[in-house]
Amino acid sequence: MFRKIIAEPGTLISVIGGKGGGGKTAVSVLLGYGLAQQKERVVVVNYDLGNSSLNKYTNMEPDPRHSTGALRRGAGLADAALSKAGADFILGSADIEDTQAAYNSPHSYLNPLMQAILHRPPEYRYTIVDLQAGSTVFTVRFALLADVLLSVFPASDEENVNIAAGQLKLLLGAYVSAGIAAYFPRVFVLANHNKPGGLSGRQVKAKLESLIQTNGWEEKIGHSFLTGVFELPYLPARSSGLFGRVQARLAELDLLERSLRQGEIPGPLRVPVDKVLAALRTLPPSGLDAPGRYARMLAPYEQSVRNRNRNENRNITER
């Protein structure tokens, strides 16, 4: 059973990953269902442009009226959302015009999306944003809004941990260089065991800490860099040999997708999802409303970006 979560209304969870295919969207849906089972009002928003699998996992047909494209055209979260199993979902836009606008002018494209998140209805106690893989302008902007950064990646080998560490270090560096380290969100890491073996949660935590080397930054952010490290289990093969392992992996994928499409959490994942949700209740409130916090954070961040660009241009000119 999921335990009752005690958290401040308006908690924003940004789900990030260093590369695609690590399980970000599936985890976003799992958390959405888990929170809904606790009678919490939650909305899951997909901002993974051009690579959205949210419609697949929720068994929802793409609809311009219920997508991030609708948010860009001025719709609010509640108006653009579709409900399933008690949770609200906003699919990624499949409209070619939206995709072109995002890549041609990402900052202009982002503004209405950011406003929709900033001014979300107060009845949403949790907003989960499934972001693009990598460290794009989308990832950095929503990292500036987040109360929680949830980094999801395969735990199959150290390369994936290295990529995740690089992304988290970049985001932490953006906060520190802009002088807003005190607003750095809590970081949860979810190691997804999509293959047999791989690194344990303890090994992932140790590897991340050795790679990131916070260099005293934790004093500036006011809390430990890693708040929690969690694992999603692998479904063991029921027969030996390569063919048996392939069969088991296909069975696991089929179980996950089939359960999510039916609005359910697969049995083997209930305990690990419960652990993530239970950890959320221990988080203190951010201390500032989202628009006020964002206004105080964005100005120095954007100034630091302008300064860096100006210095780069000066260096190019001097050459």
pLDDT at 7 over 50: no
Query: What's the CA gap between 242 and 254, in Å, rounded?
Result: 18
310 contact partners, CB below 8 Å, separation of at least 6 = none
pLDDT at 251 over 60: no
pLDDT of residue 287: 46
Amino acid present at 246: V
Q: What is the pLDDT of residues 132-142, one digit of tens each?
A: 888 877 778 77
Query: What's the CA gap between 93 and 18, in Å, rounded?
Result: 22
pLDDT of residue 127: 92
pLDDT of residue 237: 46
The pLDDT-based confidence of 1 (bands split at 50, 70, 90) is: very low
- The Cβ of residue 39 has, within 10 Å, a number of other Cβ atoms equal to 9
- Nearest-10 crossing angle of helices 270-280, 24-37: 70
DSSP-assigned beta bridge partners for residue 150: 15, 188
pLDDT at 4 over 50: no
Alpha carbon separation from 35 to 142, 155, 265, 281, 299 (Å, rounded): 21, 25, 11, 12, 33
Alpha carbon separation from 296 to 54, 109, 181, 281 (Å, rounded): 32, 21, 12, 26
- Termini Cα distance of the chain: 64
pLDDT of residue 275: 93
Which of 16-20, 27-31, 194-198, 262-266 shows the lowest mean pLDDT across its residues?
Answer: 194-198
pLDDT of residue 285: 58
The pLDDT-based confidence of 119 (bands split at 50, 70, 90) is: confident
What does the domain layout of the chain look like in residue ranges? Answer: 11-318
Percent of the chain with pLDDT over 90: 23
Query: What's the CA gap between 157 and 195, in Å, rounded?
Result: 10
Which of 87-91, 191-195, 238-242 shows the lowest mean pLDDT across its residues?
Answer: 238-242
Q: What is residue 100's three-state secondary structure?
A: helix
Model pTM? 0.83
Q: What is the pLDDT of residues 285-309, one digit of tens each?
A: 554 455 555 666 566 656 666 676 6
Query: What's the CA gap between 191 and 75, in Å, rounded?
Result: 35
Q: What is the pLDDT of residues 177-189, one digit of tens each?
A: 777 777 788 899 9
**What φ, ψ does residue 216 adopt, rounded to 5°?**
80, 0
pLDDT at 312 over 90: no
DSSP-assigned beta bridge partners for residue 11: 126
Pick the CATH number of 11-318 from 3.30.420.310, 3.40.50.620, 3.20.20.80, 3.40.50.300: 3.40.50.300
pLDDT of residue 128: 94
Contact 58, 261 (CB under 8 A): yes
- 291 versus 157: the higher-pLDDT residue is 157
Alpha carbon 194 to its chain's center? 18
